[in-house]
């Protein structure tokens, strides 16, 4: 080795000793020559013989009597020139002793940035660099003023510092590339590196290998923020090394959910195959338990050095919502298993209409807020964090809440433009007030509900003509009927004009049974008490497309109401009757006949159905 390293050369500067860069670890000269009397052994160091015959150039021989000559293999390993933290404290230079057996004494060694030199000094752990040990040279001001790397530096790293106030003349430049130089105690340059200032802030310049010349391709940007101080470089090249790279993505595919990530061959040799194990870290403990395994997939196509392959697994029955995923790569002979594990979070889309729009207030009374109500009609508990909504301008969606808010099956949640609605909710009612709330148009608008993946879970379009007056909300009749069905919406009949956070005033408890013509509830009582105020007339037809007409007659055979004359309909549908005649007046209590007439698309097939309906009221 060089300089004052253990067993180093103490001859004159023109001594042609073997340079450390040639990586010769051991020289033993067993010379059977008598030693001159002047030759003495000092402190266990090798003897030196000088040949001065005929004034030839001096040749220094290292003679070892059972001892070893150490040449050393110390390299620059990492340079942090643009730290994420303060530049005055967080710059560092890392060196590495690649020798498998030799310890190097760093006394008198220096670091230079091309304009200034600083002597490497002891930071409390000594000055001797062990075989295959990293030495981390921290800025002198780091100690006591920063803790950025404290949790990153391994315990087996030799921490060092400098005798100057900064690294180089005035620290490492972020705007102009500088050349960092490692100099031994004899003044010889052992290694140099000119870093690339285009690297991202907080990402160091790292060396890829130590057994080949440090050419332009031997260095690269660290994969980790704050680099890898005192630890193996993130881009270090091993013979066999496969690395999982994120992020982990997830997306719906048919009736399942696909998880995908990247696998790169970070080594120097071909990877013939790999097995990828996928886990659902349900308890989020960061561990991949056997009971959490989703499945595995095999990468059978050989992966060349520096090539990347996409690895994925189809997850049938994936539970909706945010899910923590762990992927583990199994590669024979992998020399760096720590990068074979990758964890990440994916969001599995929710089922369509698991949450539905149940009530909308788009024409509030003066000084009342706009709002809409959601209802969880599924068997899932839904966390509303990350859910979004919008009006008909779907580009400008708004987050309902960023914090966890779980919605149990059968529960209501109200999203309002301000908190003044809180007093209208029942005890324990859920009210969310987002940062902004798009103003809903009174004439016509729509509301769209999206889960955290952006999937539209429910939507409804409405018109102002559907409401009798401002201050009355628009209510849904039944959660299982389509949101776009005009006859599944009706103005609220409650005395307050709204039912936020509770059952709708026009809610029909059970959808009509499957029959040709059915009326429910029957009897019904349109008296404005919020209970069974409208009748839903549903039908089934044999034709794919029909033109229908529904009329209501009293017991004397007089027509009192015509519902949706000339309505184009599919094989099934429904309409509402609120108990009024064609002039809008409330009809009398009594028995009425519902008559449906349907004409097929061919103009010849005709269908007729009748049902009896009782209109009741208070005595």
Dihedral pair phi/psi, residue 419, rounded to 5° = -85, 0
Confidence of residue 213 (pLDDT cuts 50, 70, 90): low
Q: What is the DSSP string of 196-238?
A: -TTSPTT--EEE--SSS---GGGEEE-SSTT--TTS--TT---
Contact 540, 524 (CB under 8 A): no
Query: In this structure, what token pair is assigned to residue 609?
Result: 């159905």
Q: What is the pTM of this model?
A: 0.58
Domains (range + CATH), the chain: 1-236 (no CATH), 242-348 (2.60.40.2360), 354-506 (2.60.40.1260), 508-619 (2.60.40.4070)
Contact 176, 197 (CB under 8 A): yes
127: Cβ contacts below 8 Å, ≥ 6 apart: 105, 106, 107, 120, 121, 160
Contact 447, 398 (CB under 8 A): no
Q: What is the pLDDT of residue 518?
A: 87
Higher pLDDT, 11 or 189: 189
Contact 7, 46 (CB under 8 A): yes
pLDDT above 90 (res 248): yes
Contact 2, 185 (CB under 8 A): yes
Cα distance between residue 94 and residue 287, in whole Å: 32
Confidence of residue 14 (pLDDT cuts 50, 70, 90): very low
Q: What is the pLDDT of residues 48-104, one digit of tens each?
A: 333 333 333 333 333 333 333 333 589 999 999 999 999 999 999 999 999 999 999
Quick one: DSSP state of residue 438? P
Percent share of the chain, pLDDT over 90: 62
Cα distance between residue 72 and residue 214, in whole Å: 17
Cα distance between residue 558 and residue 149, in whole Å: 90
Cα distance between residue 531 and residue 508, in whole Å: 9
pLDDT above 80 (res 602): no
Q: What is the pLDDT of residues 542-576, one digit of tens each?
A: 765 678 889 999 988 899 999 878 776 767 778 88
């Amino acid at each position: 080795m060089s300089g004052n390293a253990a067993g180093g050369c103490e001859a004159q500067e023109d001594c042609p000793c073997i340079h450390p860069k040639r990586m010769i670890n051991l020289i033993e000269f067993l010379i059977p020559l008598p030693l001159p009397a002047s030759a003495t052994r000092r402190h266990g160091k090798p003897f030196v013989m000088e040949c001065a015959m005929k004034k030839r150039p001096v040749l220094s021989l290292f003679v070892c009597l059972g001892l070893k000559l150490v040449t050393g293999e110390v390299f620059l390993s990492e340079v942090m020139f643009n730290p994420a933290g303060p530049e005055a404290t967080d710059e560092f230079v890392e060196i590495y002793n690649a020798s498998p057996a030799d310890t190097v004494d760093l006394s008198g060694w220096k670091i230079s940035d091309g304009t200034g030199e600083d002597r490497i000094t002891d930071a409390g752990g000594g000055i001797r660099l062990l075989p295959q040990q990293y030495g981390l040279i921290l800025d002198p001001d780091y100690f006591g003023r920063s803790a950025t790397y404290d949790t990153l530096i391994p315990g087996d790293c030799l921490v060092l510092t400098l005798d100057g106030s900064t690294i180089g003349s005035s620290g490492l430049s972020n705007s102009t590339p500088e050349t960092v130089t490692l100099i031994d105690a004899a003044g010889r340059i052992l290694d140099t590196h000119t870093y690339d200032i285009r690297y991202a802030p907080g990402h160091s310049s790292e060396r890829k290998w130590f057994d080949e010349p440090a050419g332009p391709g031997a260095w690269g940007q660290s994969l980790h923020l704050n680099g890898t101080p005192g630890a193996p470089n993130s881009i270090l090249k091993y013979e066999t090394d496969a690395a999982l790279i994120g992020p982990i993505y997830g997306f719906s595919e048919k009736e399942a959910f696909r998880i995908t990530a990247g696998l790169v061959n970070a080594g120097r040799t071909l990877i013939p195959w790999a097995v990828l194990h996928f886990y659902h870290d349900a308890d989020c403990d960061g561990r991949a338990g056997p009971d959490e395994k989703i499945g595995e997939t095999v990468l059978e196509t050989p992966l060349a050095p520096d090539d990347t392959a996409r690895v994925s697994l189809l997850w049938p029955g994936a539970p909706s919502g945010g899910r923590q995923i762990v992927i583990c790569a199994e590669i024979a002979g992998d020399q760096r298993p720590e990068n074979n594990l990758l964890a990440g979070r994916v969001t599995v889309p929710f089922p369509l209409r698991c949450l539905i729009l149940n009530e909308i207030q788009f024409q509030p009374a003066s000084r009342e807020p706009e709002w809409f109500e959601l209802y969880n009609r599924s068997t899932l508990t839904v966390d509303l964090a990350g859910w979004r909504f919008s009006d008909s301008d779907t580009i400008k969606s708004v987050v309902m809440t960023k914090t966890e808010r779980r919605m149990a099956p059968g529960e209501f949640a109200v999203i309002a433009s301000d908190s003044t609605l809180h007093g209208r909710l029942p005890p324990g009612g859920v009210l969310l007030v987002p940062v902004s709330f798009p103003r809903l148009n009174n004439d016509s608008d729509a509301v769209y509900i999206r889960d955290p993946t952006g999937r539209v879970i429910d939507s409804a379009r409405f018109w102002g003509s559907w409401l009798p007056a401002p201050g009355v909300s628009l209510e849904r009749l039944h959660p299982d009927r389509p949101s776009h069905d005009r006859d599944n919406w009706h103005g609220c009949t409650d005395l307050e004009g709204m039912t936020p956070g509770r059952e709708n005033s026009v809610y029909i408890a059970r959808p009509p049974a499957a029959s040709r013509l059915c009326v429910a509830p029957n009897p019904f009582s349109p008296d404005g008490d919020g209970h069974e105020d409208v009748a839903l007339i549903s039908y089934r037809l044999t034709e794919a497309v029909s033109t229908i007409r529904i009329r209501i007659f009293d017991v004397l055979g007089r027509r009192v109401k015509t519902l949706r004359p000339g309505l184009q309909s599919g094989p099934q549908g429904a309409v509402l009757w609120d108990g009024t005649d064609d002039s809008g007046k409330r009809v009398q209590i009594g028995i009425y006949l519902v008559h449906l007439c349907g004409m097929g698309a061919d103009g010849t097939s005709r269908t007729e159905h009748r049902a009896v309906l009782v209109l009741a009221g208070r005595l």
